[in-house]
């Protein structure tokens, strides 16, 4: 299973739109456009297909935590 497959399955399971993914990535200061996201969902044979790298998926998962739970509370000293 590739990172692209994982991203597709999460998008369907959580019913996320492209704008939601842009918002999620912005939560972790990772700039991405809707066209770049669409390139991740294309067929591997498509000329504009883009491979989902580990860094993208890691940032998406970190942003998804913030998106669903909210920001981490400050640590008590």
Predicted local distance difference test score (pLDDT) of residue 48: 92
Reading the chain (77 residues) residue by residue, the pLDDT tens digits are 999 999 999 999 999 999 999 999 999 999 999 999 999 999 999 999 999 999 999 999 999 999 999 877 788 87
What is the b/e burial string over 35-73, where b = at least 16 CB atoms within 10 angstroms of the residue's CB?
Answer: eebebbeeeeeeeeebebeeebbebbeebbeebeeeeee
* Residue-level pLDDT at 76: 80
Q: What is the largest CA-CA distance in the chain?
A: 53
| pTM across the whole model | 0.85
């Amino acid at each position: 299973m590739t990172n692209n497959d994982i991203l597709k399955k999460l998008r369907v399971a959580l019913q996320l739109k492209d704008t939601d993914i842009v918002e999620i990535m912005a939560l972790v200061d990772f700039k991405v456009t809707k066209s770049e996201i669409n390139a991740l969902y294309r067929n591997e044979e498509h000329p504009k297909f883009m491979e989902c790298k580990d860094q993208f998926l890691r940032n998406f998962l970190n942003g998804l935590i913030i998106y669903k739970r909210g920001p981490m509370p400050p640590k008590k000293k």
